[in-house]
């Protein structure tokens, strides 16, 4: 038979079967368990969407209230983890702090009952509840403060913003933030989710699954791009600099951050929604001149890159939303991780349901068999 073809980046190679999320890249359609992302972003909450992703159906009111309550009860993290975080260098990247803290959860909870539905539910609840607390804790710790405790009267997103900023957020800000989490919760077999599934397939614990995915999300070609977009807009500086900057960047074969996607040949539907959310925030809390630079860049880039199917992706407008909410730039990717934890856990659970360890093959390109030479005989 013909030798298998090698596809760099596994482009177009199905690596799993999955019933969680579907993307139609030509139409710009994204669905979670069949529900279009536009509907979920408008009507759902992040916790309801997480439930849908992980258990496959929208919860009943009883199931939702129970899940919300469980998550609320598990928001606190052990003082041992907080103390460990105090030893992290304040100059370190919050994604590295999050990866280490997420992995440390495995030290506290047994890994014996992987296939017990109760164990799965508890792990889901703990991770969804504790990841935001750890992100907020590192933010305060690196400023030299003690982390503050979660507040039981605040819902998921409002509580996270409270723990991060030490102020109760405006309800509109909390609602928009929650919608951002919904938009980032899942996106089929992206790099971090693939990483989560590979880790899950060894039957290790879910904390290791999430920690490996956090490490994968951190890179600038994946989740890290949202931080880089604002640096890029800063560098461009003003509307009149957009065109010459883009000409130079394209001539130097530089990747434009926040543009392009393996799956979409049109504008990412999440970017469309995020742009709307950004505009809602500007109306309420004041305009941001950086948005004008972004709009101009999208317009000019559409002419230059649009014909190649390169349009804004989810990261292009998310940074502008977070900036308006007063969130520091290096927390954008950890926030992506808070949201994507729901998707990773859905894939963990699905992987366990039909598991076979990932062990692909390779095409060997090294030297053929040869003999070892003593040191003095080497050329």
The span from the CA of 299 to the CA of 243, in Å, is 10
Radius of gyration of the chain (CA): 22
- Cβ-closest position to ligand CMC: 260
Catalytic residues, by residue number, are 261, 315
216 binds ligand CMC (CB under 6 A): no
| Of residues 276-305, those binding ligand CMC (CB under 6 A) | 305
333 near ligand CMC, rule: CB under 6 A: no
- Using the rule CB under 6 A, is 111 a contact of ligand CMC? no
Pick from 261, 296, 323, 349: which binds ligand CMC (CB under 6 A)? 261
Residue number, 81 or 274, with CB nearest to ligand CMC:
274
CB closer to ligand CMC, 56 vs 306: 306
Task: Select from 51-59, 116-124, 258-266, 350-358 the region that touches ligand CMC (CB under 6 A).
Answer: 258-266
Q: Which of 200, 273, 281, 310 binds ligand CMC (CB under 6 A)?
A: 310
- Min dist CB 321 to ligand CMC, Å, is 15
Closest approach, Cβ 214 to ligand CMC, in A, equals 13
Would you count residue 86 as binding ligand CMC (CB under 6 A)?
no
Stretch that binds ligand CMC, among 57-65, 138-146, 161-169, 254-262 (CB under 6 A): 254-262
Q: Look-up: residue for tokens 């994946």? A: 222
Choices 36-44, 84-92, 111-119, 251-259; region in contact with ligand CMC by CB under 6 A: 251-259
100-to-48, 104, 239 alpha-carbon distances in Å: 27, 6, 40
The angle subtended at Cα 80 by Cα 77 and Cα 85, nearest 5°, is: 85
Q: How many other C-beta atoms can be found within 10 angstroms of the C-beta atom of residue 18?
A: 17
Residue 320 is a binding residue for ligand CMC (CB under 6 A): no
User: Which DSSP symbol is given to 306?
Assistant: G
Q: Describe the crossing of helices 332-353 and 117-142 by its angle, rounded to 10 degrees.
A: 170
CA distance 376 to 379: 8
The H or E element containing residue 296 is helix 289-305
Binding mask 219-238 for ligand CMC (x = CB under 6 A): --xxx-x-------------
CB nearer ligand CMC, residue 140 or residue 321: 321
Q: Residue 15 CB, nearest distance to ligand CMC (Å)?
A: 15
Write out the two tokens for 244.
Answer: 């010459």
134 makes contact with ligand CMC (CB under 6 A): no
Which residue carries 């992706």 as its tokens?
Answer: 313
DSSP per position, 102-158: HHHGGGTS--TTTT-HHHHHHHHHHHHHHHHHHHHHHHHHHTT-PPPPP-TTS-HHH
255 binds ligand CMC (CB under 6 A): yes
Quick one: how far is CA 246 from the chain centroid?
27
DSSP strands (E only) in the chain: 21-24, 29-32, 35-36
Give the range of 144-152, 165-173, 217-225, 357-365 binding ligand CMC by CB under 6 A: 217-225
CA 174 to chain centroid, in Å, comes to: 18
Is 265 among the residues that bind ligand CMC (CB under 6 A)?
Answer: no
Q: How far apart are CA 142 and CA 91, in angstroms?
A: 8
The residue within the footprint of ligand CMC, chosen from 54, 256, 281, 339 (CB under 6 A), is 256
Residue 340 to residue 23: CA distance in whole angstroms: 16
Tokens of residue 314, six digits:
């989810």
Determine, following the binding rule CB under 6 A, whether residue 196 of this chain makes contact with ligand CMC.
Answer: no
Q: Cβ 96 to ligand CMC, closest distance in Å? A: 17
Q: Is 262 in the site for ligand CMC (CB under 6 A)?
A: yes
Q: How many residues bind ligand CMC (CB under 6 A)?
A: 20
Residues paired with 259 in a beta bridge = 312
Interface contacts to ligand CMC, rule CB under 6 A:
9, 190, 221-223, 225, 255-262, 305, 308, 310, 313-315
């Amino acid at each position: 038979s013909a030798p298998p073809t090698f596809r760099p980046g596994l482009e177009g190679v199905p690596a799993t079967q999955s019933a969680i999320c579907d993307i139609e890249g030509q139409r710009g359609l994204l669905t979670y368990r069949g529900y279009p992302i536009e509907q979920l972003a408008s009507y759902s909450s992040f916790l309801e969407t997480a439930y849908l992703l992980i258990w496959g159906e929208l919860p009943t009111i009883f199931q939702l209230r129970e899940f919300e309550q469980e998550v609320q009860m598990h928001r606190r993290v052990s003082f041992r983890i907080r103390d460990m975080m105090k030893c992290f260098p304040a100059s370190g990247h919050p994604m590295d702090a999050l990866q280490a803290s997420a992995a440390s959860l495995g030290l506290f909870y047994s890994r014996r009952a992987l296939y017990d539905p109760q164990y799965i539910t508890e792990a889901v609840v703990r991770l969804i509840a504790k990841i935001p607390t750890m992100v907020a804790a590192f933010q305060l710790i690196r400023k030299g403060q003690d982390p503050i405790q979660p507040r039981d009267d605040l819902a998921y997103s409002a509580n996270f913003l409270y723990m991060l900023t030490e102020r109760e957020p405006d309800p509109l800000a909390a609602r928009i933030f929650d919608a951002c989490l919904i938009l980032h919760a899942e996106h089929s077999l992206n790099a971090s989710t693939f990483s989560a599934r590979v880790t899950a397939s060894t039957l290790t614990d879910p904390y290791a699954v999430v920690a490996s995915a956090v490490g994968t999300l951190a890179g600038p070609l994946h989740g890290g791009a949202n931080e880089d977009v604002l640096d890029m807009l800063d560098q461009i500086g003003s509307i009149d600099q957009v065109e010459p900057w883009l000409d130079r960047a394209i001539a130097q074969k530089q990747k434009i951050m926040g543009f392009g996607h393996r799956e979409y040949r049109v504008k990412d539907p999440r970017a469309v929604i995020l742009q709307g959310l950004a505009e809602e925030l500007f109306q309420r809390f004041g305009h941001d001149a950086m948005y004008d630079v972004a709009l101009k860049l999208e317009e000019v880039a559409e002419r230059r890159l649009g014909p190649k199917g390169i349009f804004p992706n989810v990261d292009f407008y998310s940074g502008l939303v977070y900036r308006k909410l007063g969130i520091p730039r290096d927390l954008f990717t950890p926030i992506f991780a808070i949201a994507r934890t729901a998707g990773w856990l859905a894939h963990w659970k699905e992987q366990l349901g039909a598991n076979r360890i990932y062990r692909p093959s390779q095409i060997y390109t090294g030297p053929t068999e040869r003999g070892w030479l003593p040191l003095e005989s080497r050329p």
